[in-house]
């Protein structure tokens, strides 16, 4: 058979079109159950999404509470550590502070005449 | 392009005011055509269903942006085509390691010869995604070149040229079969 006889004026090919329809055609009206089910699925999808529009905000609330708890914990730890270092610093200051000049002068009398040592003690700030 | 029928316009306006029942009427009226558009673009029945569901969900969210004076179907089909292209892209990423050799054919007709099915599958696999979508939308579903161009986002002339190349390629593989009969 001549193929040209199958080809329409618009270039369509009956056999190609028929074959394609067998593959691609959607389930038609004969399968009403299929379409009812698909419509129901689409609508339940929409209902689910609509009913849950606030879900992301609930996530935000949960996230906010979690962040607040973590912040409180971090701040508490930082405060505790700051207090401990403050106390340590105070102890260290007392322990490690070098003797003052007056105390040195008052005690370092070795090699100085007694009179000069007394004078330095008196004039020391 | 003609505007929507009066009753459909009323249904669309009700849907825009938030009536879920009205939107369901639109779903029931347009789902078969929406499926056909999706099925032309994606490889399988399951992907087409996913694309249709995604598209209606997207349309529902975007209802306030829809202008009632335009046809709902044309607006919806653009959304469906985009959803189907997205599903197709996701599918390709998922299947990157195991690309099928041929196009999946979900609706098997027992009367159809295995040889014809094999040849058609082979021919379709040789087409680009766009050529396949264009020939199915035009020859199976009866969309015009302009409608196809509008849906897929390409000039009408490109749709025409894709259709021509797709037909030539399919005719070649099926032609061999005819000459063997």
pLDDT digits (tens, 9 = 90+) for A73-94: 999 899 888 888 888 888 777 7
pLDDT number for residue A4: 44
Q: How many other C-beta atoms are found inside a 10 Å radius of the C-beta of residue A26?
A: 23
pLDDT number for residue B125: 84
Q: Pick A16's closest partner by Cβ from B56, B107, B171.
A: B171
Q: At a CB cut-off of 8 Å and minimum separation 6, what does B160 contact?
A: B145
Taking 90 as the threshold, does the pLDDT of residue B28 lie above it? yes
Q: How many other C-beta atoms are found inside a 10 Å radius of the C-beta of residue A107?
A: 11
More confident residue, B22 or B93: B22
User: Contact, B64 vs B20, CB < 8 A?
Assistant: no
More confident residue, B79 or A98: B79
Beta carbons of B109 and A22 less than 8 Å apart: yes
- Give tens-digit pLDDT for B123-152: 888 899 899 999 989 988 889 999 999 999
Q: Pick A26's closest partner by Cβ from B32, B139, B164.
A: B32
pLDDT number for residue B107: 47
**Separation between Cα atoms, residue B8 and residue B149, nearest integer Å:** 25
- Residue reference for tokens 């008196």: A122
Print burial letters for B157-168: b (CB count within 10 Å at least 16), e (below 16).
Answer: eebbebbeebbe
User: Contact, B163 vs B130, CB < 8 A?
Assistant: no
Taking 70 as the threshold, does the pLDDT of residue B177 lie above it? no
pLDDT number for residue B178: 58
> Which stretches of B38-170 are assigned E, i.e. beta strand?
none
- Give me chain B's average pLDDT, please: 84
Taking 80 as the threshold, does the pLDDT of residue A33 lie above it? yes
pLDDT number for residue A31: 77
pLDDT number for residue A94: 72
Measured between CB atoms, does B143 come within 8 Å of chain A?
no
pLDDT number for residue B95: 74
Residues of B in contact with A23 (CB under 8 A): 105, 107, 117, 120, 124
For chain A, give the percent of residues with pLDDT over 70. 64
pLDDT band at B29, cuts 50/70/90? very high
Shortest Cα distance, chain A CAs vs residue B24, angstroms: 7
pLDDT number for residue B88: 87
Residues of A in contact with B140 (CB under 8 A): 17, 20-21, 24-25
Characterise B3 by phi-psi region: left (phi > 0), alpha (psi -120 to 50), beta (else): beta
pLDDT band at A58, cuts 50/70/90? low
Please tell me the pTM assigned to this model. 0.65
Taking 60 as the threshold, does the pLDDT of residue B35 lie above it? yes
Cα-based angle B80, B85, B91 (whole degrees, multiple of 5) = 125
More confident residue, B5 or B98: B5
Q: What is the mean pLDDT of residues B88-109?
A: 63
- Give me chain A's average pLDDT, please: 74
- Give tens-digit pLDDT for B56-68: 999 999 999 999 8
Measured between CB atoms, does B167 come within 8 Å of chain A?
yes
Q: Pick B57's closest partner by Cβ from A19, A20, A46.
A: A46
Q: Pick A15's closest partner by Cβ from B36, B57, B174.
A: B174
More confident residue, B16 or B172: B16
Q: Which long-range contacts (CB under 8 A, 24 or more apart) does B167-170 make?
A: B167/A11, B167/A12, B167/A13, B167/A16, B167/B135, B167/B139, B169/B123, B169/B126, B169/B127, B169/B131, B170/A13, B170/A16, B170/A19, B170/A20, B170/B120, B170/B123, B170/B124, B170/B127, B170/B135
pLDDT band at A116, cuts 50/70/90? confident
User: Contact, A1 vs B178, CB < 8 A?
Assistant: yes
User: Contact, B48 vs B84, CB < 8 A?
Assistant: yes
């Amino acid at each position: 058979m001549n193929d040209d006889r199958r080809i329409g004026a618009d270039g369509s090919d009956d056999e190609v079109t028929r074959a394609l329809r067998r593959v691609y055609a959607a389930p038609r009206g004969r399968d009403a159950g299929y379409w009812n089910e698909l419509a129901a699925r689409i609508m339940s999808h929409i209902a689910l999404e609509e009913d849950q529009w606030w879900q992301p905000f609930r996530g935000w609330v949960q996230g906010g509470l979690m962040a607040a708890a973590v912040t409180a914990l971090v701040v508490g730890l930082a405060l505790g550590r700051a207090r401990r270092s403050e106390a340590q610093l105070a102890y260290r200051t007392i322990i490690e502070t070098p003797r003052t000049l007056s105390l040195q002068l008052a005690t370092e009398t070795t090699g100085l005449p007694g009179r000069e040592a007394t004078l330095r003690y008196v004039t020391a700030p | 392009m003609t505007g929507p029928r009066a009753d459909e316009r009323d249904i669309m306006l009700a849907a825009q005011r938030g009536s879920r029942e009205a939107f369901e009427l639109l779903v029931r009226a347009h789902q078969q055509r929406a499926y056909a558009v999706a099925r032309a673009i994606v490889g399988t029945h399951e992907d087409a269903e996913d694309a249709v569901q995604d598209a209606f969900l997207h349309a529902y969210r975007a209802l306030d942006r829809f202008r009632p004076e335009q046809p709902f179907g044309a607006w919806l089909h653009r959304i469906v085509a985009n959803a189907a292209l997205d599903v197709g892209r996701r599918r390709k990423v998922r299947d990157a390691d195991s690309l099928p050799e041929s196009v999946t054919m979900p609706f098997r007709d027992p009367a159809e010869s295995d040889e014809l099915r094999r040849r058609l599958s082979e021919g379709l696999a040789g087409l680009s995604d766009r050529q396949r979508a264009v020939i199915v939308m035009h020859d199976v579903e009866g969309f015009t070149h302009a409608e196809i161009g509008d849906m897929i986002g390409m000039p009408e002339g490109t749709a025409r040229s894709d259709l021509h190349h797709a037909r030539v390629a399919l005719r070649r593989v099926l032609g061999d079969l005819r000459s063997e009969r």
